[in-house]
Amino acid sequence: MNNTIFHHKQTAHCESGVISNLLGHHGLKISEPMAFGIGAGLFFAHLPFIKVNGVPGTTYRIWPGAISQRVCKRLGVKMEAAKFSTPAKGMAALDDVIEAGIPVGLLSSVYYLPYFPASYRFHFNAHNLVVYGKKEGQYLVSDPVMDTVTEIDPDSLVQARFAKGFPAPKGKMYYPVHVPANASFRQPIKEGIQQTCHYMLKVPLPMFGVSGIRFLANRVKSYPEKVGDRKATLYLGNVIRMQEEIGTGGAGFRFLYAAFLQEAAEMLQKDELGKLAGELTKTGDLWRNFAFAAGRVCKSRAADTVSYKDLSEMLLQCAASEDAFFRKLAQVKW
């Protein structure tokens, strides 16, 4: 069996990590923060009517798939992507491509990945990983959130790739077929930043962007009265998990984006972006303080309305801080 040498690099977030590692393999060096920024990965949404296990959904980044799609479009990368009707077809196609020595990005469910610790295995169907070869019947895996490369048995991989639920990965696999030798990052960075600002400031719905943070703040305030103590802590716990937990979404996205701005500032000789990176770091710290306080409230389980009011205040601060930040970022002259 052909075993490609794949340079595994651990990253904070699966999608930006896989795209960074895959493009790097084809000679286009792009860091994780750069991929995240060009892909306009930063976002916020709180969707009380979309419930996962009875708990309202919150997200701190753009929907799955958007980052790699945008990065490819902006950098002129051609990606071959396919979904499959049956596991047999999906596995045969995967074998063909790795046989040809091409590392493949796969969409999969965390629940069926045996190398993940049990405590992280929920039915989260939008996890990205790379398979780069096969050895003694085991698939060689570069999962960007793990320290090192790992392996997976075919049965588990089939289950992970063809998990049911929303969104069903349907065995989705993708790999670059054309990667430009020299890509200029200037225009992609600009477009990525403008798109992020648009999504954070201009979506005319209350659940999205900066207004989404305010929307969540208002909901949090009344959790104890509206849903009761038990559910209030569950709801709050989910907000923290989406912010922080690897594998299901969170990965300190504010810091990741600040790292992108810093790298962009250096690359384009634009000090302004570097200063804005510093501001975003402060917003990230506000989010951290919020998570810390919210964690304490969850732990005490005593849903006194005061603490929920305080948490709501902290969220409003995050909103104000992001509002000011994105307004400045939107005004950067290019």
Interface residues with another protein (CB under 8 A) are: 10-12, 33, 53, 111, 115-120, 122-123, 145-147, 164-165, 168, 233-234, 236-238, 240-241, 244-246, 250-252, 255-256, 258-259, 262-263, 277-278, 281, 284-285, 288, 291-292, 294-296, 298-299
Residue type present at position 328: K
Q: 81 or 122: whose CB is closer to another protein?
A: 122
Cβ distance 202 to 294 under 8 Å? no
Q: 69 or 159: whose CB is closer to another protein?
A: 159
Least Å distance between CB 258 and another protein? 7
> Which residues neighbour 328 within 8 Å (Cβ) at sequence distance 6 or greater?
276, 279
Q: 211 or 312: whose CB is closer to another protein?
A: 312
Angstrom distances, CA of residue 63 to CA of 4, 41, 122: 31, 8, 18
Q: 99 or 285: whose CB is closer to another protein?
A: 285
Least Å distance between CB 185 and another protein? 17
DSSP 48: E
In DSSP notation, 24-45 reads: HHTT----HHHHHHHTT-EEEE
Say how far apart CA 142 and CA 150 lie, in whole Å. 6
Q: Which tokens sit at 51?
A: 């419930």
Q: 18 or 79: whose CB is closer to another protein?
A: 18
Q: 64 or 284: whose CB is closer to another protein?
A: 284
Least Å distance between CB 319 and another protein? 19
Q: 134 or 241: whose CB is closer to another protein?
A: 241
Residue type present at position 319: A
Q: Which tokens sit at 4?
A: 């490609």
Least Å distance between CB 163 and another protein? 9
The pair phi, psi for residue 52, each rounded to 5°, is -110, 115
Least Å distance between CB 184 and another protein? 22
Least Å distance between CB 121 and another protein? 8
Least Å distance between CB 274 and another protein? 9
Q: 95 or 272: whose CB is closer to another protein?
A: 272
Q: What SS3 state is found at 333?
A: coil
> Which residues neighbour 282 within 8 Å (Cβ) at sequence distance 6 or greater?
321
Least Å distance between CB 266 and another protein? 9
> Which residues neighbour 118 within 8 Å (Cβ) at sequence distance 6 or greater?
none
Angstrom distances, CA of residue 103 to CA of 123, 185, 237: 25, 24, 36
Residue type present at position 168: A
